[in-house]
Amino acid sequence: MTAATSLPKSKPIWTVNGRFAAQELTGVQRYAQEILRAMDNILAKDDQIARRLGLQLVVPSGAQYVPSMSNVAVRKTRFGSGHLWDQFILPWHEGAGILSLGNSGPILSPRHIVCIHDANTFIAPESYSRAFRTFYRTFLPLIGRQARRVATVSKFSASMLIRYGICATEKIFVVYNGHEHALRWNASRADLRRVNLTARRYVLLLGSQAKHKNIEVVLSGAPALDAAGIDIVVVGGASGIFSNGARDVNGPNIHYAGYASDDELAAFFENAMCFAFPSKTEGFGTPPLEAMVCGCPVISADTASLPEVGGEAVLYADPDKPARWVERILRLANSEDLRAELIAKGRQRAKMFSWNEGACQYVEELLRLTTG
């Protein structure tokens, strides 16, 4: 083991599972990074807590996305990756316990806190490749039953973990996603040649191969929107974990922008007439929150965790009724007052979800288990 950062003032006691730092940055990995950064800030302000926890982040040798921190030691292992690294390499650095923020961790760790973000492989198995869903439908109940405590990202997700037997009610606590990362995005740094795909008003949509993302319910309304002078811009790319059941829908007013950086996404949000999020199931659903931060009105499906996140700050539509999505979009297109109202409510709603508050919850759990 080699040390990337040494903190002699405290002996490492709790180990943070850094496997997320070797993975592509998606919602789960962003959660781990932002929670850990916020925990580092807490330790910077309270030396006593820093000494009691002595946090260290242990990462695989190929980790590329290690957050910059001043109060958490970062150590790279010499070899190993993936689930085998979780089970056989990480436990050698356990200390008093392990905190895993990204859906996986060592099954046999005696003092393990794990965040399981959702039960989507149970709720929507058709969205995932056979290998991926088979593994996680077996693995999640194992880790959920063995872990000392199980965090998740919404009350809805907690109910699903219980429903599918992934873990017991008394183990669960909810730590929501936060909004502050989107405040760091800067639309002025975006490549305008990519962002300015259309001269007309547009609905922003996040593309995905996952069936539960349900983007076709919005794309099917493209002809009606075209008649009203409205385009649809789809951003985002594919992922190997999803099944190949989704298909592209084409039309004169549908524009596929592909992958977008954070700054480009901010620009897309800021210039959109609205953001549509028709997903049928989400553990949390970060994109609507990011849209609110960027001042973009949101139309969301009325299912799963999405009303829990959006509250009264978004418009809702049935994810199985395409006509409702067209109606909601046209309603926004014809009312600047409604758009302004949703923008204001959205900015206020987003402030309710904080990475700092979530980090405080994790720190409290670690302290409780340290002394318990």
242 vs 145, more confident = 145
Q: Which of 25-29, 221-225, 321-325 has the lowest mean pLDDT?
A: 25-29
In this model, does residue 160 exceed pLDDT 60? yes
Q: Which of 160-169, 202-211, 355-364 has the lowest mean pLDDT?
A: 202-211
- Place 247 in a pLDDT band, splitting at 50, 70 and 90: low
Where do the structural domains in the chain lie, given as residue ranges?
2-178+354-371, 181-350
Q: Which of 110-119, 186-195, 209-218, 315-324 has the lowest mean pLDDT?
A: 186-195
pLDDT for the residue numbered 11: 61
Mean pLDDT of 12-24: 93
Q: Do domains 2-178+354-371 and 181-350 have the same CATH topology?
A: yes
In this model, does residue 36 exceed pLDDT 50? yes
In this model, does residue 371 exceed pLDDT 90? no
Q: What would the pLDDT profile of 128-138 be if each residue is shown by its tens digit?
A: 999 999 999 99
Hey, CA dihedral for 319, 320, 322, 326, is it positive or negative? negative
Q: What would the pLDDT profile of 58-80 be if each residue is shown by its tens digit?
A: 999 989 999 999 999 999 999 88
Question: Rounded mean pLDDT of the chain?
Answer: 92
pLDDT for the residue numbered 1: 31
For the 181-350 domain, the top CATH level (class) is: alpha beta
Domain made up of 2-178+354-371: CATH architecture = 3-Layer(aba) Sandwich (3.40)
Which residues pair with residue 277 across a beta bridge? Answer: 300
pLDDT for the residue numbered 196: 82
- Does the global pTM surpass 0.75? yes
